[in-house]
Chains A and B, each alone.
Chain A
Amino acid sequence: MQRRRTGNAFYVCYLLLAIAFGAVFAFATDSLSYLPTLAEGALITVEITLMAAVLGVFMAFVSGLARLYAPWPLKWIAVAYIEIFRGTSALVQLFWLYFVLPQFGLELSALWAAVLGLGLHVGGYGAEIVRGTVAAVPRAQWEASTALNLAPLHALRRIILPQALAAMIPPWGNLTIELLKLTSLVSLITLADLTFRAQQINLATFRTVEVFTLMLVAYLILSLLLTLAIRWLDRHLALRFGRMA
């Protein structure tokens, strides 16, 4: 059995290969003219990923910590939120926000439905990451904080969370890549992301093979960039805060 390592070098090589393939393929099949439209779509994909990630991180910390430490009414609200958004499909949630909410008199634009839906969805998964890593900080750290006469909130913020944060980065990284992939669903509620743009070009030109190949390559490039960014952040934070054994 060989253990092939996939370190930074692997991902950088793969990224360069993907970019080179995309460029050569676009040139060889004479489809360079579609790249600006696809890039527009990719920009929307990135924007939605970032906005949903911000909402997701916020919801994850609030509900993850509430599930651990809040008094019972808040705690059960957090549990309900986490279980509902983890237990149903992202697409069902998006459709619910986009088609059902207006019937309750709350009209959301497609963009806000997308950000809200994906953000809340990812927040539910992130809450379990927060809960797991915070709970994994050794008990003795709490006891030491008490011995040093730190208030509980102060101890949480300055002692416990920084240690949990270092352990959180790899699972958050995976979740962010899942989020990037989930953004393709927003094309189904009429947002002009990468998937939507590819379909649009396909309908207009019937250059099916070229357009959908370039779309997949574009997603691959975005994912690899994200992977590299997360690996960099992970190394950085591990050095900054130290990693629990």
Chain B
Amino acid sequence: MNDIFDLNFAISILPSLGQAALVTIQMTVAGFLVALPVGLLLVCLRLYTAAPISYATIGVMEFLRSTPLLAQLFFMYFVFPLWGINISATMIGIIGLGLHYGAYYSEVFRGGIESVPRTQWEATTALNLSPSRAFLRIILPQALVPVVPAIGNYLIALFKETPILSAIAVAELMQRAKVIGADTFRYTEPITLTGIFFLVMSLLSATGVRWLERRMRKGTR
């Protein structure tokens, strides 16, 4: 315990942390894949239904956005089994991330959809496209392209929220770091390495998003 940061110990726990980092990335991707359709569903219900359903959707969306992810996870983790829904902590983590970020994505999509000129709808009517076909083939593609950077930014935010899943014992990176800390009484190395992993990954992905943004600006000119 003399060394503040024991390099040999740090190296010895790397394989274990690396394995858990893989789980973190899997959870991120799975949560993202749930969040996209959830966001699309929410924005469609908000924009294209009668007032009661539309306002109810806004209510749900605001609820998902304004209560903490941790509180939502605890609710699902403890209450679902009582309702006879027995799913693993991993699944609850994925659903939790998906619903929470689905609410954020619905706002991102709304921005994109509202920026598509009205005349595009009129043109699809003139071409006799059915509304659903017009939405999926004409409106949505135009709405999504300009919001790709925003989608990327929220993906990074989602990635950085995955350590919260350690609270319901999903075996991701933070959980592994805590377990190593509890086993060896050395928290410095595992938690610092966890921090470095998130820092490097988010700096890299932020650079990626900026590159995408620049590329797209060139594309639209």
Chain A interface residues (CB < 8 Å from chain B): 1-4, 6, 10, 14, 17, 83-84, 86-93, 95-96, 99-100, 103-104, 177, 180-185, 187-188, 194-195, 198-199, 202, 208-209, 212-213, 215-216, 219-220, 223-224, 227
Contact = CB atoms under 8 A, between A and B. Distances in A.
Contact of A88 (B78, B199, B206): B199
A188 B58 CA distance: 31
A182 B68 contact: yes
A185 B66 contact: no
Contact of B191 (A1, A96, A199): A96
- Scoring A2, A84, A100, A202 by chain B CB atoms within 10 A of each residue's CB, the highest score goes to A100
Contacts of A10: 55, 58
Contacts of A227: 66
B191 A95 contact: yes
A91 B174 contact: yes
Q: Is the interface of B mostly helix, strand, loop or mixed?
A: helix
A103 B82 contact: no
B78 A89 contact: no
Interface stretch (B13-21, B122-130, B158-166, B209-217): B158-166
Contact of A103 (B4, B66, B68, B121): B4
B9 to A, nearest CB: 13
B195 interface: yes
B70 A14 contact: no
A4 B55 contact: yes
Contacts of A89: 160-164, 174, 198
Contacts of B26: none
A220 B67 contact: yes
B181 interface: yes
A87 B66 contact: no
Contacts of A198: 71, 74
Interface range on chain B (Cβ under 8 Å from partner): 35 or more
A215 B70 CA distance: 11
Given A90-B160, A180-B68, A181-B69, 14 more contacts: A4-B58, A88-B160, A88-B195, A88-B199, A88-B202, A89-B198, A92-B163, A103-B188, A185-B68, A185-B70, A212-B78, A215-B74, A216-B75, A220-B66
B66 A223 contact: yes
A91 B187 contact: no
Nearest to B167: A188
B197 to A, nearest CB: 9
B48 A208 contact: no
Contacts of A177: 66
- Scoring B70, B164, B187, B202 by chain A CB atoms within 10 A of each residue's CB, the highest score goes to B70
B39 to A, nearest CB: 16
A6 B163 contact: no
A180 B199 CA distance: 23
A219 B199 CA distance: 29
Given A87-B198, A212-B75, A184 B191 contact: no
19 contacts: A2-B47, A2-B54, A86-B202, A89-B160, A91-B164, A100-B191, A103-B4, A104-B4, A181-B68, A202-B78, A209-B79, A213-B75, A215-B74, A215-B75, A216-B63, A216-B75, A219-B71, A220-B66, A227-B66
Given A1-B113, A10-B58, A208 B66 contact: no
A4 B161 CA distance: 30
Contacts of B166: 91
Nearest to B157: A178
A104 B187 CA distance: 11
Contacts of B58: 4, 6, 10
Interface string B45-72: 0111001001100110011001111111
A95 B194 CA distance: 11
Contacts of B114: 1, 3
